[in-house]
Structure 1
Amino acid sequence: QAALDDGTGLFTPAASAAPAVAALREHAAAAGVQAMGVVPVAGPEAAHGVLAVGASTARFSQRERTLITDLGRRVGRAVALAEQRHRLLTDTVLEVTFEVRAGSVFARAAVEQGCDLSLEGVVPGDRQTLVFFVRIAGAPADGVRDWLHDHDGVVSVRVVRDQGGEAVLAVGVAPGADLAMAVVSHGGTIRDLSAGPGGERVVAGVAPETDVRALLDALATAFPGVSLAAKRERARGDETGQRDGASLHDALTDKQAAVLRAAFHAGYFEWPRESTAEDLAADMGVTAPTLHNHLRRAQQKLLATVIDSDGGCDPDTPWPDTRQ
């Protein structure tokens, strides 16, 4: 759990005595392990467990640490891809709705600030965080921002737009801080989120074979009082958003899709722009050149798809004469 919370993994030169790897101590001793590395097996949106590597030497070199951490990411991406393919090949999806009145970041924000929050979109951030674009109504945006900024579970927050009665905030949330984060860590995909004075409501999609009772029990360990408000199977053909998301991921890499979604929700394509590339880079925990690279490549791929399918320009429909 410490490796999952840290997001980058743990490396110890004394596996037999390290508290962080106590659960693996017996296996380490039997195998003659001295140094041990434990890194997250994480996909773009959720962690799937940890990868533990033992060595008979006293410690790992920096290069070995980098390679082991990268292996955890690669395994996580492979698991995420396999799960995505499985969901796309399944005719139905299970939609579950959970509610909680306290403990979760957005539930507390809504209650203490007297506002309503609704989800605009969510994208992966840095170190297993998620960036939620939430619409705020009923309270000053600056006040909600300041409250979130002082909350331990929030790693970043900024006002994307403020139109007086309504505002949109980009909120980076750490693992375990919000009910939605806990659902994602157990393999769910967030479809909707809302919060108000009565608490928080999270709608998620999970695999049809998911043991919902076990999932609820797991969520209750971190958020006592959480309840299952609804559960239903939906035909894959009814999942318009899922079909759009699947086609998007077919054309783009996970990082390109995430950056493109973040840019859309943050008003990067509005005129005038509501967020700069530097704002987006800070939200997602990457450098501005990296973000520009992913964004340009994503735009190029989507434009190529649109233009190739358009059939070209009709020579009989010239540009209109705008001089008059």
Structure 2
Amino acid sequence: MESRHDLATSALETLPITVAIIDDDGEILLTNRSWREFGPGEQSDDHVGVDYLATTATGDDEYAREALTGIEAVLAGERKAFSMEYPCHSPDEKRWFLMRVNRFHRGDERLASLVHLEITERKLAEIAAAENARELRDERRALEHVLERVDGLVRNVTDAAVSAGTRAEIERDVCRRLVETDPYVLAWIGRVDVTNRRLSPREWASNENVPLEDDEIVLDADDTHPAVRALSEGGTQIIQNVASFDGAGRLWPTGAGEQFQSVAALPLTYGDVTYGVLVVFAGEPDVFDERELLVLESLSGTVATAMNALETRRMLTSETIVAVEVTIEDPSLFVTNLSNEFNAAIDYRGQTHARDGSPLVFLIVDRELTDDETDAIEHDREIAVLSDTEDSTVLEVSDPDGLITTLSEHGGIIRECTVSDGIADLAIELPDGRSARSVYDLLDQRYDRVELVSYHEREEPAQTPRGMTTRLESSLTDRQLTALRTAYYANYFEWPRDVTGEEVAASMDITRSTFHQHLRTAQRKLLDELFE
């Protein structure tokens, strides 16, 4: 059976750590296999008899000096143990080791064990953890700075938008507040001229007093401009580095471009209405990250909401209306399709509502239709002939989700609609500029060719026919109003009559007596409104 000494020696050989035993003079008495195999190449020298202290003293670095001092202190009895971590990098990899020195005795002889344990994995993990901690500290400091800046920016822009008395004041103050905040150096807000299809910068501000070029952007031609894309696509557009943007010369005046390195364009939208576009420039590239855009998009929403509130207040306190004339050339438009089918001009006469609440539209064809023509009508809308003469025919058409319904939903009133030779001419009245822009954009998206012929605002007198109509409609029941409108649009009041009361009643799906009862009551209320 092996002695305890032999067993310990055999076990020492199997350890995956480098171990050496030295005496109090620093001479190596014993090493294990890991010690002998450590180092580059094949190595069988056990270093027994080598003066380890002298070898360590030859190292010209702080770790060697620290190791020598610690080992000598242990051998001198000043310390029972000593440990230190040190790097031992090779050309191919980085390595770290832990050295431990422990004193022990064999009889009267003072000895020490030297153990070198590789701790590279732990050291790399510690370095990574320290790096992550540093990055987190830097990120936290940056976030605190951003939050402080953002809080001030949001408060300032919100105050400017909410406290302004006019839209121009909102635009001017918002641009000024933006450029007072790093890293923004210029901001402008543009409005769309729907008549000329131009985007015009209305207000701007710059921290270097750089004037924005008094120019207009052609919406149909400058489709690469971020402001145009923001309007057409309805979302934020970014250029993180303008040096790589081909159309950089269209973003600012000649000679000022070196001050601007990145740009963001945001549509000012409230619901389905777009008031314009906000364009913000920064003096550094790659400024508009996800966090920055979240703040700007929130601010653009605040600005659009404030503009909407101003327009709503103006609508409630003024009698201004917007008159718009447009032409539409698109065979898919129902009245255009019907005009082409009959080879005749068609005029819009008016509208009412059926019993189920769906809109009914009255159209006049400029010639008498034959029975064969009316029988051959095939459309997804219900079409009925109310009356006809030698030179005209009155049609009643259901209009589910059609043009008339769409315009009504935006507060529009069709004053005139004439269709001939494949072109529809419309004259529309709308309550405000917001509704006018929304209606034009809707028509432009829905139909092939839409041309804005005229656009102007006018003040109505305090007492207007519109007000009288509103009061009358509020005093009539739905059936009384439908009976009055249907009779009027069907030429029931002409002499001689183009249509009988029985025919009008049939179109309303009521009896003749019920029709006359509704009509008489509506006529009396109409005369009351007129004379009283």
- TM-score bracket for this pair, using the shorter chain length: 0.5 to 0.7
TM-score of the pair, normalised by structure 2: 0.36
| 1:124–1:210 Cα change, 3 Å | farther
CA distance in 2 between partners of 1:140 and 1:250 (Å): 37
Contact 1:115–1:139, Cα closer than 8 Å, also in 2: no
Cross-structure match for 1:160: 387
Contact 2:360–2:399, Cα closer than 8 Å, also in 1: no
Q: CA deviation at 1:293?
A: 3.8
CA distance in 2 between partners of 1:240 and 1:150 (Å): 41
Q: CA deviation at 1:129?
A: 3.6
Cross-structure match for 1:107: 336
TM alignment of 1:116-131, pairs within 5 A: 116-131=345-360
Contact 2:387–2:498, Cα closer than 8 Å, also in 1: yes
Unaligned runs of 5+ in 2: 1-313
* Amino acid corresponding to residue 248 of structure 1 in structure 2: L
- Counterpart of 1:219 (choices 411, 418, 443) is 443
Cross-structure match for 1:186: 410
Cross-structure match for 2:456: 232
- Say which SS state the counterpart of residue 192 (structure 1) adopts: strand
Cross-structure match for 2:365: 136
TM alignment of 1:9-88, pairs within 5 A: none
Q: CA deviation at 1:136?
A: 1.9
* Amino acid corresponding to residue 336 of structure 2 in structure 1: A
- Counterpart of 1:169 (choices 364, 375, 394) is 394
The number of residue pairs the alignment matches comes to: 218
Q: Relative contact order, CA 8 A, sep 6+: which one is greater?
A: 1
CA distance in 2 between partners of 1:239 and 1:229 (Å): 29
| 1:198–1:188 Cα change, 3 Å | same
In the alignment, is residue 98 of structure 1 matched against residue 323 of structure 2?
no
CA distance in 1 between partners of 2:440 and 2:363 (Å): 25
Cross-structure match for 1:210: 434
| 1:125–1:88 Cα change, 3 Å | farther
Contact 1:126–1:286, Cα closer than 8 Å, also in 2: no
Contact 1:129–1:172, Cα closer than 8 Å, also in 2: no
Q: CA deviation at 1:282?
A: 4.4
Unaligned runs of 5+ in 1: 1-85, 310-324
Which structure has the larger Rg over C-alpha atoms? 2
Cross-structure match for 1:40: none
CA distance in 2 between partners of 1:94 and 1:151 (Å): 33
- State the identity as a percent: 26
Cross-structure match for 1:5: none
In the alignment, is residue 145 of structure 1 matched against residue 374 of structure 2?
yes
Q: CA deviation at 1:218?
A: 2.4
In the TM superposition, structure 1's runs of 4+ consecutive aligned residues that sit over 4 Å from their partners are 86-89, 141-144, 238-241, 284-290, 303-306
In the alignment, is residue 268 of structure 1 matched against residue 488 of structure 2?
no
| 1:192–1:146 Cα change, 3 Å | farther
CA distance in 1 between partners of 2:388 and 2:342 (Å): 18
CA distance in 2 between partners of 1:90 and 1:144 (Å): 48
TM-score of the pair, normalised by structure 1: 0.55
What do residues 56-113 of structure 1 show as CA deviations (whole Å, max 9, x unaligned)?
xxxxxxxxxxxxxxxxxxxxxxxxxxxxxx9796322112223222211111122233
